[in-house]
Chains A and B, each alone.
Chain A
Amino acid sequence: MAKNLTTDVLVVGGGPSGSMTAKWAARHGARVLLIEKRQEIGSPVRCGEGMSKEWLKEVGITPSPRWINLEVEGARIFSPSEKVFEINEKHAGNEVGYVVERDAFDKQLAIDAANAGAEIHLKTAATGLLKEGGRVVGVRAKEFGEPFEIRAKVTIGADGFESQVGRWAGIPTNLALRDMDSCLQYRMTDVDCDVRYCDFYLGTVAPGGYVWVFPKADGLANVGIGVQLSQIQEPAAARTFLDRWIDKHPGYAKGKKIDVVGGGVSISPPLKQTVADGIMLVGDAARMIDPLTGGGIANGCIAGKICGEVAAKAVHDGTPTKEFFQTYEKGWRARLEEKLYRNWLAKEKLCSLSDETFNKVVDALVDVKLEKLTVHNILKAVRDKYPEVTKEFEAFL
């Protein structure tokens, strides 16, 4: 039997959100233990690897060629009729960014956490929570299959989309069918991707989601799809729709697949509750994924920094209570909640549009020069060209 451990802050999960939380808790003086069930941080990769960049400085991440494949100039939105609307850095408010090597990125964040003083245990899975009088005081775990206990003043659930920790703690994290995408991606070589752009294909090619092409290098790209569970019927829909899309695009149909990854992505409104006595949730485990883009890294890291700081303060003050953790609850919401909610509304609307409407919207956008890409400017462009379509967007006005 492995030896039981005690720590101030226990982080379950060694993805970006977990490492970020561990780093900032350690920096603020807490003893931190991060456990990861896999044998390697960052692998296997379950990610499209496209990432915005304007937030990196805020959380103390220094961009490095070790994990950046390339920097794109913009994003291209393809309508169902494949008219292209280009979003560049200027009108996207610096939100376009990098295509990254996620395993190297995750490892760098774990190194940052270790350098700040966090301990890391691999092959260590949480199997249940330790509770005392309703308060979470650590986890039961297995390290290399050996059961043991870790007692902690603060436990952090950073265990990703398939989070168990939150549910064990009684925090409702269940998703409705319409609030989840089923995703599949191939890494493909010998394809005609454009290294200047991340591409997004909208409409019934990917019901309730989109097809993406994120270039990793000349001729090499992540080609993936997300489909909304409420809009699909047959099993293996993600694979069926992605294969169909590839078949119809000669520049990709000629390519060769060198990797396949699957995954679930939440596209839900923000959770009502992300903390309980002794425990906080962060990142995908807290359903912080942007429901419009499906991106989770930035929000997870931003919330992770706040979570780590609050965890360290709770240890210092001896108050790991649900009430004290409201500092985190309010902190991450002040920073992220409005955009999450707005993008969830936008996603709900987009998921309901017909191909014909998508074509009109993109068509209207292509013809006008937008200075700044705001919902207001988009709607105005659409209204000027296709007034009848604007009715569908009244809720946004």
Chain B
Amino acid sequence: MPGKKSLHIESSGQLCVYCGACVGVCPLNCIYLDETRITFDERICTRCEICVKACPVGAIEID
């Protein structure tokens, strides 16, 4: 989407510990945890970056 930053959630297990902190904190409820996979809804996400702060291991990046 033009003008929208890109959000990347590393959930292959290199960083992510599947704790769900990002899911619980998302104000728009658009991040989903499915045991060992995390996805988010590109259309709903506003790139508020709260999940970036919540992630204890730095697995979420915005650029």
Contact = CB atoms under 8 A, between A and B. Distances in A.
Interface of A: 37-39, 44, 46, 125, 160-164, 167, 174-175, 177, 180, 182-184, 229, 232, 235-239, 260-264, 266
Nearest to A225: B56
A174 B58 contact: no
A266 to B, nearest CB: 8
Interface residues of B, number: 24
B22 to A, nearest CB: 8
A236 B50 CA distance: 12
Given A162-B24, A262-B17, A264-B25, A238 B33 contact: no
Contacts of A266: 24
The winner among B27, B33, B50, B54 for most chain A CB atoms within 10 A is: B54
Contacts of B57: 184, 236, 238-239, 262
A238 B56 CA distance: 5
B27 A182 contact: no
B60 A235 contact: yes
B12 to A, nearest CB: 16
14 contacts: A46-B19, A125-B34, A161-B24, A182-B21, A229-B53, A229-B54, A235-B60, A238-B56, A238-B57, A239-B57, A261-B19, A262-B19, A264-B19, A264-B22
B17 A182 contact: no
A148 B24 CA distance: 25
Given A177-B53, A263-B21, A266-B24, 7 more contacts: A38-B35, A183-B21, A235-B55, A262-B55, A263-B56, A264-B22, A264-B25
Contact of A236 (B20, B23, B33, B56): B56
A264 B17 contact: no
A178 to B, nearest CB: 11
Contacts of A46: 19-20
Interface in B17-63: 17-25, 27, 29, 33-35, 50, 52-58, 60-61
A180 B21 CA distance: 9
A235 B21 contact: no
Contacts of A174: 27
Contacts of A37: 35
Closest 5 CB pairs of A and B: A236-B58, A264-B21, A262-B19, A238-B56, A162-B23
A264 B53 contact: no
Contacts of A232: 53
Given A177-B50, A182-B53, A229-B53, A239 B58 contact: yes
Contacts of B34: 125
B15 to A, nearest CB: 8
A201 to B, nearest CB: 17
A362 B45 CA distance: 44
A264 B24 contact: yes
A263 B29 CA distance: 17
Given A162-B33, A174-B27, A264-B21, A184 B53 contact: no
A210 B44 CA distance: 34
